[in-house]
Amino acid sequence: MAPSSTDKHGTDQRFDVNLSILFTELPLLERPAAAAAAGFTAVELWWPWIETPTPAQAELDALKKALDDAGTQLVGLNFYAGQLPGPDRGALSVPGKESDRFRANIEVAADFAASVGCKALNALYGNRVEDVNPQIQDTLALENLVLAARAADRIGAILLVETLNKPESPLYPLVSAPAAIEVIDRVNAATGLGNAKFLLDIYHLSMNGEDVSQVIAAYADKTGHVQIADNPGRGAPGTGSLPLEQLLEELTKAGYEGWVGLEYKAGDRPSAESFDWLPAEARAAR
């Protein structure tokens, strides 16, 4: 995706920056201001407190203040997902302590999202556990996703379910778009709310060898959020071989009007230097 070919993205897409993978060279509370200095008005986050699903209110207040002071809108937030980045890929389907931690986090995350006007909460499914029947995990997952969907609905938000990729997350069971859509349909059937949506991550889908164009055509109407990174390498657009500009155009033509999260690695340069593919005028939400 060459810089000269992205001028229209200011109107076609709304971009946000994932502050859990970009600007990580800075302390958490400095990242919103850094994103704003780079021209962005919207950000998203994985659950920032990987050690606890229930941080002290002072920590939640400090993050809210950092977002407000920077003038950045939080448009996506993960529920507690264990050690991320790290060996974990979620908690809600993991029996025992991790599932309990997820449940303890549901209302905390929803209340924080409400306090900053965030309308999308992402629930990572969780790895398969050795010697645990997958059906037991799937039953537990549905129970917890129903609770999460109801909490999201309480604050006027959507619940996102995400596909990861098998090479990097071999124990994660949702490694295809249809697998995630099946879970989403089950949650919506169980709640009757219709607020469970697909998080369409182009990088993960491409790593799984899926035809991303076909996924867009099939599931754009069920998509609540999009994330991008180039492949190979999970770098910025233009560092790999994915036709990201084409795929974003396909999303627009399919009727997707939501956020596109920049969830890529900056590489060996400061994060602020990794946005040269996107004109400055296209970075602020319109």
Which residues are annotated as catalytic?
162, 263
E-only strand ranges, the chain: 14-18, 42-45, 73-78, 120-122, 158-162, 196-201, 223-228, 259-262
Please name which of 85, 62, 87, 67 lies closest in space to residue 17, comparing C-alpha atoms: 67
Please name which of 200, 168, 199, 196 lies closest in space to residue 184, comparing C-alpha atoms: 196
CB neighbours of residue 8 within 10 Å: 14
Tokens 């997820």 appear where?
Answer: 102
CB neighbours of residue 66 within 10 Å: 18
Chain-centre distance of CA 123, in angstroms? 9
E-only strand ranges, 46-177: 73-78, 120-122, 158-162
Please name which of 11, 207, 36, 197 lies closest in space to residue 120, comparing C-alpha atoms: 197
Asked if residue 66 lies in contact with residue 33, where contact means CB atoms within 8 angstroms, the answer is: yes
